[in-house]
């Protein structure tokens, strides 16, 4: 009999009189005690004891059988990103584990809390080139926050507790536990599960240094043209309301990175749009005009900064980050505010004076007007017969009111979605940011639906990306999560084609990708579908998709050779952002 007590941190949550359990069964007990109720996975030889134990835990642990392990980990990522909880993945040894690699790398660079449990061959076979043996530990070392190989059953409770603590604390990230088959089978004396809340060699929450808060506040108070740039740290730190309070008092314009998007509503009075290669004109251009740049929970990715030696050289830089290795990594900081922004932001809010920056905001408005005239108006009111990606997102906005979770893949459709989408709630923009993983969106959308079952989830995917993980339509067919899928089909690998047009003199080298009949494919999976290419049908098609009671695949044929602008061409500074091809 287990007594599940209230989960106070560090308390024993699964107290049992000593029981003999197999490693596999203990794994189930530990996961339940940790609060896990959903697993994405795929069985195989080396993880069969765990799947056998799972068979008896159907009531506590829901398992979604994906079609490929990459789908499992992207689904766990989508789940984690919308729920703020830790995604859990099961996979077998060898190919099962190597199929997780892309997702681990994606979760690592985008700081997503995921715990992967992989089976491994018997401990005595390690290193003998056994069937389905792969050196998973060494393959995954650079792409996990922590990994551990269990070869004895008694290690399991401690290692699982540590894994969940590491995955979700501090700057979150993926953790992999590789359990040899003998450890899954072996019986041991299970004495209960104790949640981990301290590891002596690991300090997830740095001590906040008051003097840096004061120095940062002094810089902010003196500033005449300050600019806030924020990233996913605000969302991961669950610091949205603290951030809004800071914005309200400071009155400073704020621009988001792609992963920071939706932390504040897109129509927030301080919001000035998105940073980055295809971000908005104003925030990119004016980064090089601000006098104090306040970076919050972001890591100065090269897609945000453009050329570093031309990036915000005139500005004093305040960097708030939980990860000390980010301070000064790419951009030299004037004041480092090292800490969890949920704690540092209120201190900073308290220390600063209330101000407003009307003339400074006016500059952003001027830029916005230019961008609207030169880019946005044409994208949303095209004169040609072919549809634009922008108008699809625009119509989608009008139906969802910004309430939906949008899951995007990688490429032109991703940039257009992030440029034109409206969001009202946090954790709504799910995309592969750092790694740029094509094939991310479909499985991530499945996971997102499980993470937020009462919210509308719309996956927006290009015709390239959908074909990378299209097999996950099978998962949708079988488990029926209500996921809406929009394929923006331009019959090209659009972003590569855009670069070939702009920088490789129109040499379209292997970008003309063919698509199957998506409606027929969906029908094969018993998923409702429609294809649309005419403007007068678009609104109706999107309505039909959203009103359909189950999953729905909508293919929208869009213009073949549209480009995404504005653009900060690679190797240029942010102030060299261009609004059209002619500016190049």
Partner 1 sequence: MLKQEYTVTVYTENQIGLLNRIAIIFSRRKINVESLNTSPSEIDSVHRFNIVINESEEVVRKLCRQIEKQVDVLKAYYNNNDEIVWQELALYKVSTDIIASEVKVERLLSQYGARAVVIRKDYTVFSVTGHREETDQLLKVLEPYGLIEFVRSARVAIIKSSEGFHRKLTQFEQHEPPSEMVENEFLDQQENVFSM
Among 2, 187, 191, 334, indicate the residue that binds partner 1 (CB under 8 A): 334
In angstroms, the CA 111 to CA 123 distance is 31
CB of 156 to partner 1, least distance (A): 17
Nearer to partner 1, 206 or 436 (CB): 206
List Cα–Cα distances, 384 to 191, 300, 539, in angstroms.
70, 38, 17
CB of 203 to partner 1, least distance (A): 6
Contact flags string 8-27 toward partner 1, x per CB under 8 A: --x-----------------
**Would you call 1 a catalytic residue per the annotation?**
no
Residues 51-110 that bind partner 1 (CB under 8 A): none
Q: Which of 11, 20, 55, 131 is catalytic?
A: 131
Neighbours of 214 (CB within 10 A): 14
How many beta carbons lie within 10 A of that of residue 502, not counting itself?
A: 15
Pick 226 or 462: Cβ nearer partner 1: 226
Sequence-separated contacts (24+) of 4-9 with Cβ below 8 Å:
4/33, 7/35, 7/195, 9/195, 9/197
Instruction: Please identify which of the residues 145, 162, 181, 449 carries the catalytic annotation.
Output: 181
Q: What angle do CA 420, 422, 424 make, to 5 degrees?
A: 165
- Pick the catalytic residue: 495, 498, 552, 576? 495
Tell me the window of 61-69, 331-339, 500-508, 510-518 that interacts with partner 1 (CB under 8 A): 331-339
Examine the residue annotation and report whether 181 is marked as an active-site residue of this protein: yes
- Cβ–Cβ under 8 Å, residues 319 and 220: no
Which long-range contacts link 381-386 to residues 24+ away (Cβ below 8 Å)? 382/559, 384/559, 385/535, 386/533, 386/557, 386/558, 386/559, 386/560
Q: Which of 85, 154, 209, 368 binds partner 1 (CB under 8 A)?
A: 209
Within 212-231, the residues that bind partner 1 by CB under 8 A are 215, 218-219, 222
- Asked if 324 touches partner 1 (CB under 8 A), the answer is yes
CA 23 to chain centre: 32
Provide the minimum distance between the beta carbon of 235 and partner 1 in the complex, in angstroms, as a whole number. Answer: 21
Shortest distance (Å) from residue 17 CB to partner 1: 28
CB 257 within 8 A of CB 230: yes
Residue closer to partner 1, measured from CB, 330 or 373: 330
Which is nearer to partner 1, 124 or 332 (by Cβ)?
A: 332
Using the minimum distance from each CB to partner 1, give the nearer residue, 190 or 338.
338
Reading phi first (left if > 0) and then psi (alpha if -120 to 50, else beta), residue 553 is in beta
Q: Which is nearer to partner 1, 83 or 334 (CB)?
A: 334
Nearer to partner 1, 173 or 433 (CB): 173
Q: Choose between 317 and 389: whose C-beta lies nearer to partner 1.
A: 317
Distance of alpha carbon 542 from alpha carbon 584, whole angstroms? 35
Q: Report whether 260 contacts 243 (CB < 8 A).
A: no
Question: What is the DSSP-derived secondary structure letter of residue 144?
Answer: -
As a residue count, the chain comes to: 584
Q: Can 495 be counted among the known catalytic residues?
A: yes
CB of 15 to partner 1, least distance (A): 21
Q: CB of residue 213 vs partner 1: minimum separation in angstroms?
A: 13
138 binds partner 1 (CB under 8 A): yes
Query: What's the CA gap between 181 and 428, in Å, rounded?
Result: 39
Cα–Cα distance for residue pair 426/221, rounded to 1 Å: 28
Please state the closest distance from residue 178 (CB atom) to partner 1, in A: 10
CB of 146 to partner 1, least distance (A): 4
Q: Which of 25, 34, 69, 326 is catalytic?
A: 69
Closest CA to 420 of 484, 377, 369, 362: 377
Catalytic residue check, 132: yes
Residue 535 lies near partner 1 (rule: CB under 8 A): no
Footprint of partner 1 on 148-207 (CB under 8 A): 149, 166, 197-203, 206-207
- The two tokens of residue 393 are 């997102």
3-state helix, strand, coil in the chain (%, to 5): 40, 20, 40
For partner 1, the closer CB: 156 or 375: 156
> CA–CA separation, 319 vs 216, rounded Å?
9
Stretch that binds partner 1, among 321-329, 348-356, 519-527, 562-570 (CB under 8 A): 321-329
Q: How far is the CB of 23 from partner 1 (least distance, A)?
A: 19
Tell me which of 5, 60, 128, 141 binds partner 1, using CB under 8 A: 141
Q: In the β-sheet with 483-489, what is the strand arrangement from edge to edge?
A: 429-431, 405-408, 457-462, 483-489, 552-557, 528-532
Among 58, 127, 309, 325, binds partner 1 (CB under 8 A): 325
Stretch that binds partner 1, among 96-104, 135-143, 498-506, 567-575 (CB under 8 A): 135-143
Pair 51, 99: CB distance under 8 Å: no
Q: How far is the CB of 357 from partner 1 (least distance, A)?
A: 20
Which residue among 58, 142, 401, 549 contacts partner 1 (CB under 8 A)? 142
Q: With contact defined as beta carbons under 8 Å apart, do 303 and 231 qualify?
A: no
End-to-end CA distance of the chain: 71
Nearest residue to 34 via CA among 182, 196, 254: 196
Contact set for partner 1, span 458-497 (CB under 8 A) = none
Closest to partner 1 by CB, 208 vs 380, is 208
User: In the bound complex, what is the minimum distance in angstroms from residue 20's beta carbon to partner 1?
Assistant: 27
One of 33, 277, 335, 538 touching partner 1 (CB under 8 A): 335
C-beta closer to partner 1: residue 7 or 187 = 7
Q: Which of 62, 85, 122, 132 is catalytic?
A: 132
Report phi then psi at 78, rounded to 5. -60, -40
Residues in contact with partner 1 by the rule CB under 8 A: 10, 137-138, 141-142, 145-147, 149, 166, 197-203, 206-207, 209, 211, 215, 218-219, 222, 323-325, 327-329, 332-336, 338
The residues annotated with a catalytic role in the active site are: 69, 131-132, 181, 495
């Amino acid at each position: 009999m287990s007594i599940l007590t209230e989960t106070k941190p560090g308390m024993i949550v699964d107290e049992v009189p000593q029981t003999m359990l197999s490693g596999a069964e203990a794994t189930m007990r530990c996961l339940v005690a940790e609060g896990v109720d959903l697993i994405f996975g795929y069985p195989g030889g080396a993880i069969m004891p765990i799947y056998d134990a799972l068979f008896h835990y159907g009531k506590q642990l829901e398992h979604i059988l994906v079609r490929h392990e990459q789908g499992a980990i992207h689904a766990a990522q989508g789940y984690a990103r919308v729920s703020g909880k830790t995604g859990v993945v099961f996979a077998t040894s060898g190919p099962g584990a190597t199929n997780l690699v892309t997702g681990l790398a994606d979760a690592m660079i985008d700081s997503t809390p995921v715990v992967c449990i992989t089976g491994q061959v018997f401990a005595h076979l390690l290193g003998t080139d056994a069937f389905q043996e792969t050196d998973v530990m060494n393959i995954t070392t650079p792409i996990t926050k922590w990994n551990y190989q269990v070869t004895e059953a008694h290690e399991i409770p401690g290692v699982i507790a540590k894994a969940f603590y590491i995955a979700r604390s501090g700057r979150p990230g993926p953790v992999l536990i590789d359990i040899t088959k003998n450890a899954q089978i072996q019986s041991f004396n299970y004495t209960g599960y104790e949640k981990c809340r301290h590891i002596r060699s690991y300090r997830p929450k740095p001590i906040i240094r008051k003097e840096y808060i004061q120095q940062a506040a002094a810089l902010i108070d003196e500033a005449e043209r300050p600019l806030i740039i924020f990233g996913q740290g605000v969302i991961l730190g669950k610091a949205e309301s603290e951030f809004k309070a800071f914005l309200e008092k400071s009155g400073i314009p704020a621009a988001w990175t792609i992963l920071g998007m939706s932390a504040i509503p897109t129509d927030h009075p301080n919001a000035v749009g998105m940073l980055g290669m295809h971000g908005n004109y104003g925030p990119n251009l004016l980064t090089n005009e601000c006098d104090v740049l306040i970076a919050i929970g972001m890591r100065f990715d090269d897609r945000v900064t453009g050329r570093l030696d031309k990036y915000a050289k005139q500005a004093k830089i305040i960097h708030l980050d939980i990860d000390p290795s980010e301070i000064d990594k790419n951009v030299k900081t004037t004041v480092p505010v090292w800490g969890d922004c949920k704690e540092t932001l209120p201190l900073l809010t308290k220390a600063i004076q209330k101000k407003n920056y009307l003339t400074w905001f006016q500059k952003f408005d001027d830029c916005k007007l230019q961008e609207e005239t030169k880019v946005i108006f044409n994208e949303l009111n095209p004169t040609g017969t072919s549809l634009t990606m922008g108008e699809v997102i625009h119509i989608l906005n009008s139906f969802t009111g910004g309430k939906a979770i949008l899951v995007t893949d990688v490429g032109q459709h991703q940039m257009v979605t992030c440029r034109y989408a409206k969001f009202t709630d946090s954790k709504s923009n799910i995309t592969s940011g750092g790694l740029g993983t094509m094939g991310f969106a479909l499985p991530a959308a499945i996971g997102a639906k499980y993470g937020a079952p009462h919210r509308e989830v719309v996956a927006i995917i290009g015709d390239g990306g959908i074909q990378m993980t299209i097999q996950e339509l099978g998962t949708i067919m079988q488990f029926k999560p209500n996921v809406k899928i929009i394929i923006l089909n331009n019959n090209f690998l659009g972003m590569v084609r855009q670069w070939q047009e702009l920088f490789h003199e129109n040499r379209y080298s292997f970008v003309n990708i063919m698509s199957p009949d998506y409606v027929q494919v969906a029908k094969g999976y018993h998923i409702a579908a429609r294809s649309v290419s005419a403007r007068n049908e678009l609104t109706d098609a999107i309505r039909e998709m959203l009103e359909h009671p189950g999953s729905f695949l909508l293919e929208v044929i869009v213009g073949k050779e549209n480009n995404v602008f504005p653009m900060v061409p690679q190797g240029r500074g942010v102030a060299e952002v261009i609004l059209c091809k002619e500016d190049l």
